[in-house]
Amino acid sequence: MSASDRYLHDSDALPVMPETAVQLMRTLGRDDTSMSEVAALIERDPSLAVKVLRVANSAGVGAQRQVASLRDAANLIGMRHLRDLSMAACVANIFPTDGTFDRERFWRHGLATAGHAKVLAGLCNVDPDTAYIAGLVMRIGRVLMLMVEPEIVARCDDLNDSPDSLIRHEIEWLGCSHLEVSAALAKRWNFPREIVDALVAARDPMGTLPFSALGAVLRLASTLADAGDLQMAEVDTLVAMQPELLARMELSTDDLLGNLKPWDDLTLGVDQLLS
């Protein structure tokens, strides 16, 4: 049994990916996916539809005019953004609220990782929609780890006072990182193999063969999200901490400064997603 298996041995306790999210994920990469199809999928889950509309009407998203329907939202923010919001809403609420961790901070980090991954993917010839979903679930394994070994996970959190250090602390104290657990859970959810492999590769992108561009994007995005969470200069932090990986992906400082979105924009609406 691998070190990560102990967090997934109780099948009855594992969260189940909502059917709406499964259907939305199946639209990835399809050239014939329409706005109407995506809106219709979301409408099948009334509570999800209401949540997505609330986010779409939040400041900075629906500020141009009031969004009254999912089709209005699709026309205003685009089909892909609507799908992203819906996937985020699905994933953010699959775990029970038990007060053992800061859900809002956790999902702010998740949304920031996903948003950064989407932009970086577009700069690196990686599918942005796949990168967004992979970034969204990148740390989902931490919740399972917290449920099984809360004290040790809390210890890792206490030590995690600098960007991109959490993986190292988890390996030292737990024998594995959240990435392996997230990958195992994504596999059970029948996520695309590309996402599962990239989550594993993100632990050591430069040392993984064959090289996973998506795995590299995820590690870079996570480092950016760490910096934003700690209120540090995100691009400067990434350049200082991941020079080899940036060079491997042929990303320059100008690329980053000219395309990445601010932390506040990426994490907008997280309270609506969790309510």
Which residues make up the CATH 1.10.3210.10 domain(s) of the chain?
99-267
Does residue 11 have a pLDDT over 80?
A: no
Angle, vertex CA 197, rays to CA 1 and CA 138, nearest 5: 90
- Structure confidence at residue 223 as a pLDDT band (50, 70, 90): very high
The per-residue pLDDT of the chain, averaged, comes to 89
* Res 54: pLDDT: 83
Residue showing tokens 């599962």: 196
Q: Model confidence over 156-168: pLDDT tens digits?
A: 989 988 999 999 9
Distance, CA of 103 to CA of 91 (rounded, Å): 12
**CATH 1.10.3210.10 for domain 99-267:** yes
Helix locations, 124-149, DSSP H: 128-136, 141-148
SS (H, E, C) 12-71: HHCCCCCHHHHHHHCCCCCCCCCHHHHHHHHHCCHHHHHHHHHHHCCCCCCCCCCCCCHH
Q: What is the pTM of this model?
A: 0.91
Query: If we measure between CA atoms, which residue out of 149, 112, 147, 148 comes closest to residue 132?
Result: 112
* Res 57: pLDDT: 76
Exposed/middle/buried for 22, CB within 10 Å: 0-12, 13-18, 19+?
middle
Q: Model confidence over 89-115: pLDDT tens digits?
A: 888 878 766 666 788 899 999 999 999
Least-confidence region, from 58-67, 188-197, 215-224, 239-248: 58-67
Q: Looking at residue 260, what DSSP letter applies?
A: P
Residues 6+ apart with CB under 8 A from 183: 141, 196, 197, 199, 200
